[in-house]
Amino acid sequence: MKAFLAAVLRIVRKDLRVESRTKGITTTTAVFALLVVLAFAFSFVKTFREPAVLGRGALWVAFVFGGTLGVTKAAAVEDRNAALDGLLVAPIDRSAVYLGKVTSTALFVFVVNVVTLGATTILLGYAPTPRTALAVVGVLAVAAVGFAAVGVVVATLTYRSGLDELALPLLLVPLVVPVLLAGVELTAALTAGAPLGSWLRLLCLYTGVLLLAGVATFEFVVEE
Amino acid sequence: MTEPAIRVDGLTKTYGRIAAVDGLSFAVEEGETVGLFGPNGAGKTTLLRMLAGLVRPTGGTITLGASELTPDDHGIYRRLGVVTHETMLYDALTARENLRVHADLHGLDDPAARCEAVLDTVGLRERASQRPDTFSHGLCKRLSLARALLHRPDVLLLDEPYTGLDQRSVADLAAVLDGFDDRTVVLTTHDIDRGVARCDRALVLDRGELRADVVLDGSAEAFESTYRRSIGLDEPGRDRTT
């Protein structure tokens, strides 16, 4: 178990180092997410009187599109020079490779989402209390893990099978609908101070299911 | 009696109805250098990638020493060094950092020292702080070889090691490989002259099948004749471009 976790951490560390040099995933994704928020601001800010509704709408639309771009970029790093093959011929469990990739990808998606949350506050007037904002950040963290859990598998599958990049959102988005739905409902409930109901359970359970499914399928996705 | 370094039994890989590798059986003895020869589409790369555990066979078995190669037995990868057409390296990291990533993943003792040692072996110490995307194809190949040698594998798998290299790079690569004559090596190549000079034995593949298993005596002419006959290149009407 210790060796397994060490392998996961080594892959995360490698991804963080690569990203610290290129900033290819976070910068591109953040710019894209901010453009989504800006588009919302230009389109609705004068006519729409409920910043909380507008803010959470922009936040989760940016989450889906920015996240899709993020997982694509993360998979592209491993596709270039067949770098992923280098990880596969290392004496480590392939589920460690998967969990390492999920951890780093979720981290990148999460960081961009936090920036997006800040942008919705500034540009759309969405002003949750600090406690609510913290809870929303927690929801974003779990949602980022769920998104990355399925995103890593689908993006790897897309690249390794030579599918068009357009196939990625077509395969990915339907699979993350429960994450998105739970995220939107939880953000609404947190902002309104309403009970979270079963949405939090759904988000956590579905994320867990996606992770287990990813561990079970990654081996077959990476092997030709 | 010692086990062969590699034993392949009835190995098959099909993609839909096409058999890329069709029931291959052979063994490679310890310390032997075996060349896989054959026209494009013969199944050389698919076979090599199956030996590396990157392609899942449809049927048959691969045994390394006494252990069968299965996706679940990750420890077996400590025995294999793999160099393919691609470098398997990250352009954003320096040569040294790339090697360190792989040294850590292999759990080597004193990974930093081992990285420096292989950089010396392949003659890249001077360029260790540079990124591989600034390297020529020949230097990338050497760095790729350094990655494969890091963990001192018993078996080296080399896919088209000479492709795209100029004369000097080929000579450099050959000099590096000369230092590893005690290892078991399986390589694919289209270059009959260099292949014959490097290998003890040749397996000729065509359309996924083993057509000849030849002990080489250093004569490229003699082997070329066998090779052409094995794949039917001299038959009238045979497409001479394959």
| Per-residue model confidence (pLDDT) at position B236 | 55
Q: Chain A residue closest to B99 (CA)?
A: A86
| Candidate from B55, B85, B132 with C-beta closest to A224 | B55
Q: Which of B91, B111, B108, B109 is nearest to B100 (CA)?
A: B111
Strands B201-206 and B33-37: parallel
| Candidate from B54, B101, B106 with C-beta closest to A85 | B54
Q: Cα dihedral sign for B107, B110, B112, B117?
A: negative
| Per-residue model confidence (pLDDT) at position B237 | 52
Please list every residue in chain B whose beta carbon sits closer than 8 Å to the beta carbon of residue A6.
107
**Which strand (E) or helix (H) includes residue A120?**
helix A94-124
Please list every residue in chain A whose beta carbon sits closer than 8 Å to the beta carbon of residue B97.
17
| Candidate from B55, B88, B132 with C-beta closest to A82 | B88
Total residue length of chain A:
224
Establish if B169 belongs to a structural domain.
yes
**Which strand (E) or helix (H) includes residue A157?**
helix A130-160
- CB of B99 less than 8 A from some CB of A: no
Q: Write a three-state SS string for chain B.
A: CCCCCEEEEEEEEEECCEEEEEEEEEEECCCCEEEEECCCCCCHHHHHHHHCCCCCCCEEEEEECCEECCCCCHHHHHHEEEECCCCCCCCCCCHHHHHHHHHHHCCCCCHHHHHHHHHHHCCCHHHCCCCHHHCCHHHHHHHHHHHHHCCCCCEEEEECCCCCCCHHHHHHHHHHHHCCCCCEEEEECCCHHHHHHHCCEEEEEECCEEEEEEECCCCHHHHHHHHHHHCCCCCCCCCCCC
| Per-residue model confidence (pLDDT) at position A166 | 81
| Per-residue model confidence (pLDDT) at position A127 | 83
Rounded Cα distance, A141 and A16, in Å: 17
- ipTM of the complex model: 0.89
Shortest distance between the Cα of A3 and any Cα of chain B, in A, equals 9
Look at B54 and A89 and tell me if their CB atoms are within 8 Å: yes
Establish if B95 belongs to a structural domain.
no
Mean pLDDT across chain A: 92
Its domain, for residue B201, covers: 6-84+154-230
| Mean pLDDT confidence for B102-122 | 93
Q: Which of A18, A32, A10 is nearest to A80 (CA)?
A: A18
CB A127 within 8 A of CB A192: no
- CB of B75 less than 8 A from some CB of A: yes
Total number of domains in chain B: 1
| Mean pLDDT confidence for A90-113 | 95
Look at A94 and B71 and tell me if their CB atoms are within 8 Å: yes
Look at B71 and A92 and tell me if their CB atoms are within 8 Å: no
pLDDT in tens, B187-224: 999 889 888 988 999 999 999 999 999 999 888 888 88
Q: Chain B residue closest to A96 (CA)?
A: B105
| Candidate from B52, B75, B91 with C-beta closest to A89 | B52
Rounded Cα distance, A147 and A211, in Å: 10
Q: Which residues from A are below 8 Å from B when comparing CB atoms?
A: 3, 6-7, 10-11, 14, 17-18, 21-22, 77, 80-83, 85-94, 219-220, 223-224
Establish if B119 belongs to a structural domain.
no
| Mean pLDDT confidence for A64-84 | 93
CB A184 within 8 A of CB A139: no
Instruction: Phi first, then psi: give them for residue B44, nearest 5 degrees.
Output: -65, -50
Residue A51 — pLDDT band, cuts 50, 70, 90?
confident
pLDDT in tens, A141-166: 999 999 999 999 999 999 988 887 78
Establish if B206 belongs to a structural domain.
yes
Shortest distance between the Cα of B228 and any Cα of chain A, in A, equals 31
Residue B242 — pLDDT band, cuts 50, 70, 90?
very low
Its domain, for residue A198, covers: 2-222
Record the tokens describing residue A169, joined without a space.
């959102």
pLDDT at position B240 over 80: no
Establish if B79 belongs to a structural domain.
yes
Establish if B110 belongs to a structural domain.
no
| Per-residue model confidence (pLDDT) at position B1 | 60
Rounded Cα distance, B54 and B43, in Å: 14
Shortest distance between the Cα of B155 and any Cα of chain A, in A, equals 13
CB A63 within 8 A of CB A143: yes
| Candidate from B56, B77, B93 with C-beta closest to A17 | B93
| Per-residue model confidence (pLDDT) at position B241 | 40
Total number of domains in chain A: 1
pLDDT at position A10 over 90: yes
Please list every residue in chain B whose beta carbon sits closer than 8 Å to the beta carbon of residue A7.
105
Rounded Cα distance, A168 and A74, in Å: 13
Rounded Cα distance, B88 and A81, in Å: 5
Q: Chain A residue closest to B104 (CA)?
A: A10
Record the tokens describing residue A11, joined without a space.
């892959």
Rounded Cα distance, A93 and A87, in Å: 10
CATH number for the domain including B54? 3.40.50.300
Shortest distance between the Cα of A16 and any Cα of chain B, in A, equals 11
Establish if B10 belongs to a structural domain.
yes
Instruction: Phi first, then psi: give them for residue B43, nearest 5 degrees.
Output: 110, 10
Q: Chain A residue closest to B71 (CA)?
A: A219
Establish if B124 belongs to a structural domain.
no
